[in-house]
Structure formats: C-alpha cells, structure tokens
Structure 1
Amino acid sequence: MTAGLDAPEALRAQRGFFKSRYGSTRLRVGVATTWLSLIVLLPLAAIVWQSAGGGWSAFWEAITSNGAIESFRVTLTVSVVVAVVNSVFGLMVAWVLTRDDFWGKRYVDAIIDLPFALPTIVASLVMLALYGANSPVGLSLQQTIWGIGIALAFVTLPFVVRSVQPVLLELDREVEEAAASLGADNFTIFRLVVLPALLPSLLSGAGLAFSRAIGEYGSVVLIGGAVPGKTEVSSQYIRQLIEFDDRTGAAAVSIVLLVISFVILFILRTIGSRAAKREELSA
C-alpha cells in the first residue's frame, strides 16, 4: 500500500487509510465525549449542584454532623481493611487460577464473577441466611462490623482477581526460571521478580475494590442493620437523609464519598504507573 513512498509520505498514507476505514477521529472523540457527558458528567454535575443548594455553611454542617462523621468512620475503616484483605487473597486466587491445574478450575473461575452478576440485595440475603440469628454454622454476625466486612469482601473480591489475572498470564516464566537457576528461593523470586510486575494491576484492583466498598448499599443493608455509630455505613446514612427529605445533606455526603474515591483511585493509579515505568526501565 505504501511501496515506493518515503517515510513521511508512507505515514500520511497510512493515517489516511485508517481514517477512511474507521472514520474521522473528531467524530469518534465527539461521540465518546457526548456519551461520557450524558452518563457520567451530567449526573455528577447535578449532585454537585444539589449539594450546594443551601450554601457552603449547609454543606459543611451536613458533612460534619455526628451522624455523617460516624458513618464515614465505619465506612472508611471497613473499606480499607476489606481492600487490603482482598488484595492478599485476590492475588492468591488469581495465582491459583493461572499457575495451578486442578479439577473444577473452570467452575471456580466462573464463580469469581458471580458477585458481578448477583444483585447485591441477594448477597445480603445470603449473608443473613449464613451469618444471621439462625446461622447454620453457629456464627451470628448480624449487626456487627464483621458481618459488613464479609459482605463487602464478597462483592469486591472479583475486582482484584480480574485485575491481576491477565498480568499473571502474560508474565515471562523464563525470568522466574532464570532466577531459580541462580539459587533464588520461591519467596525471593516472588518478591523481586513477580510482585513488581503485578504491582500496578494489584493497586488498580485494590483501588476499585475500595471505591466499590465505600459506596456499597445492597449487600450490607440486611446483615449490617444500620446501627448508628456501629454498623451504619455512609450509603445507609444517605438513604436515611433522603427519607427525612434532606436531599441537600444527602448530596453533600455523597460528594465526600465521590471525592474520597477519586483521590484514592488517582493516588493508587499514579503509584502503579510509576512502578510500571520503573519496571520497563529495568527490563
């Protein structure tokens, strides 16, 4: 297609070919931007506008009230712990699915995605049936912080597994074998060879798990019980404000959760991006 052309002409011809085949870049960008605005930006702008309805004083009063502070404390504490725990066990599950062969591996791999497909209220019913007052295993976690933690771990585990799994599949096993031939033990190989390559995806999965956890409602609504200062997460507190017709306060608390989620995701992805660049430079 570009035979007989010099490099600049060949590049222009190639660009023209892709543009004619896939359409104008401006058109694609315009469509993507419009869709993003309708689905994400406009709803975010609407909730920001609603949160500012009473002015800065009303906003500050809403997010610093005793109920809001207690709900933030419960939500952030459980979400951080769940993200850390799922980072460890999610990595372990991804490792088993990619490095080990066993009977039923396909079924286990399919089950990982079950929390994505299962309505979160059903997850709460499952947790209530297993860990409620009539627990078949003799472990009652209803209206406890442990019950909320297990429910959130259930719905956020796939984020870590599915973030790490593709990277594990693409890792060059020859590097690990070379390290082993030089006398490195398994832990050293994992710490110095495997983990640096997995760190960006692991941090991304942990960030997604944390963001999902701080906004989760359905999976904790029954098992948690919404006990103020004990098991009431921010999403339940927002629901309570809406029931009391305090939409401005509910929007203000929502904005705080959005900001926290965005900041955590931005920080973790920045760290992951820098780790990936260091890995490329050292390769």
Structure 2
Amino acid sequence: MPQRRILPGLPLSLGVTLVYVTLIIALPVAAVLLKAMSLSLGEFWNIVTSPRALSTYRITILCALAATLFNAIFGFAFAWVLVRYDFPGKRLLDTLVDVPFALPTAVAGVTLTALFAKNGWFGAPLASIGIEVAYTPLGIIIAMIFTSLPFIVRTVQPVLEELDPEFEDAASCLGAGDLDTMRRVILPLLMPALLAGISFAFVRCLGEFGAIIFIAGNQPLSTEITSLLAFIRVEEFDYPGAAAIATVMLLASLTILILTSLAQSWYGRHLTRS
C-alpha cells in the first residue's frame, strides 16, 4: 500500500520550491552578476582592488572575525546557561536573545550609538578611561556582536537540549575532569552545530549594514565597511561599480558557507567512524 503523504506529491512540491528559489534567490543574484559582467575584466579588477575597497574588506573582515570569536565563546556560554540551569527570569532572558532578529537594524544602530557615544550611558564611563567606541572600529564590532549573537545561541541551544547528561556522568565515572569532559565529550558532539552557528554569524557580520552605519561614522579608509561602499556607489548611480563590490561580498559569503558545509560533512563522517 503506497504511503500517504499530507503534503502534495514530489512534482508539485519540487515545482513550488524551484519557483520560490528562482524568484527570491536566483534572480537577484543573477541580476547582480550580470550587471558586474557588463564591466571588462580590467575595469572589474580596478574597482574591487582600489585602495578604498581594499580598506573596506580589511575593516569588515577583521571586525567580523573579532565579533564572531566573541560570540562563539559568549554565545556557547549563553546557550549552556539557558539549557542547563533554572533561575528567575530565564524565560525573559531566552526571549531577549531574539531581540536582534525582531528589532530593525537601523533602530539597533541608533540605540547603540546613543548608548556608546561619549555622553552615552556606556560611552561616558568608557571615554573617561580613554576607550572610544562610537565612530571607531570597536563600535563596528559591537554592532556586529549585537546582530549576530542569536545565530550561535539558537543553533547550539537545540542540540545542547538533546544532549543526554548521561554522557557527562559516564565521563565523570571514568575519571575525566570537567575540562576533559567538555573538550572530549561535549564539544565533539556540538561541533557541527557550533560550526554552522559560527559561519552564519560571520556571514551576517560581513553583510550587516543598518546597525553599523550609525555607530561607525563611515570614514573612508578608517571605519567604512564594504556594504556601505556598495550603497554609496548606488547613490552615485554607479551600478556596475556597486555590482562589482557586491559580487565580491557574495563570493566571500558563498565560499564560507560551502567550506562550512564541507567541514560539517567531514566532521560528521569522522565522528561516526570514531
């Protein structure tokens, strides 16, 4: 007897999926690539390797790496606390993790700028000890941390919830300390999810725009990010130049996602064999 399926059959389901992917993903990407291809190879190279463009790559990548590293540690700890401990206000704290998803990035940028400006709640005490946040690369990092934290927490949290505490008890019975248990038992099981969260967070940092432009100051060769440079080229009606810069960002993001997928696949096979 053929298995009954609640959803329509494969042809209809696949057709709807392909139409959706084509309209929402493939066509916009193709439009960017076609506009970039209107440039000659020399023109494309001159645009994407100009001193201003190279400066935005450096600032964006370094700030994204710093924000992702912070979130990898803090996000993992955040997910661990939410899963393994009960305390007053836990439900509220769990809800606050999703605020960067719900909050418009422009609102986040304005809020962060007000908080970390020299006369802000956080900015004033920091300025008194010589630390400036607003209109510096540090401000960019903080904005990236704020917008990308949920990607790691929400990726690790469900896997951690499914992780049986008996694994830790067994490791303890075998004489493993807390550090060995974390390194040799828990982290290997969480690594695929952690890798996915880190890659999503890093890609989000690379493409973040609204939360950064308010707190960064947008000074060329100092605090200007790549997505802002692409936006400036659009405002100048230099659509091929904007498309060329957007193509670099697109290729970087796709490369990261592909490498992460390959790393997850390899790690899964290695974990299964071991």
TM-score range, shorter chain: over 0.9
What is the match of residue 247 of structure 1?
Answer: 239
1:44 correspondence with 2:29: yes
Amino acid at match of 1:164: V
**Using the alignment, how far apart are the partners of 1:172 and 1:142 within structure 2?**
44
Distance 2:104 2:168 in 1: 41
TM-score between both structures, scaled by the size of structure 1: 0.91
Equivalence map 1:25-104=2 (5 Å): 25-104=10-89
- 1:121 and 1:219 in contact (8 A); partners too: yes
Separation of aligned partners in 2, 1:136 and 1:168: 35
1:102 aligns to what SS in structure 2? coil
* CA-CA distance at 1:242 after TM superposition: 1.3
Counting only pairs closer than 5 Å after superposition, residues 113-262 of structure 1 correspond to structure 2 as 113-137=98-122, 138=124, 139=126, 140-262=132-254
1:157-204, Cα deviation, whole Å (9 max, x unpaired)? 000000000000001211110110111111100100000011011010
- Match of residue 129 from structure 2: none
User: Deviation of residue 55 (structure 1)?
Assistant: 2.2
Rg larger in structure: 1
- TM-superposition CA deviations, 1:49-80 (whole Å, max 9, x none): 01111222221111011111111110011111
**What is the aligned-residue identity percentage?**
39
SS at match of 1:219: helix
Q: Does 1:22 align with 2:7?
A: yes
Structure 2 CA distance for partners of 1:239 and 1:22, relative to 1, 3 Å: closer
| 1:144 CA drift (Å) | 0.5
Q: Distance in 2 between matches of 1:81 and 1:141?
A: 15
2: distance between equivalents of 1:96 and 1:32?
A: 38
Using the size of structure 2 for normalisation, the TM-score is: 0.94
In the TM superposition, what is the alpha-carbon distance from 1:276 to its structure 2 partner? 2.2
Rounded Cα–Cα distance in structure 2 between residues aligned with 1:231 and 1:222: 11
RMSD: 1.2
Amino acid at match of 2:146: F
State the distance in 1 between where 2:161 and 2:96 align. 19
Amino acid at match of 2:83: T
Number of aligned residue pairs: give it.
Answer: 267
Q: How many angstroms apart in 1 are the aligned matches of 2:78 and 2:65?
A: 20
For structure 2, list consecutive stretches of 5 or more residues without a partner in the other structure.
127-131
Report the Cα offset of residue 101 of structure 1.
1.0
Cα contact 1:217–1:235 (8 A) shared by 2: yes
The structural deviation recorded for 1:136 is 2.2
Counterpart residue identity of residue 229, structure 2: Y
Report Cα offsets for 1:118-137 as digits up to 9, x if no partner.
00011111111111132223
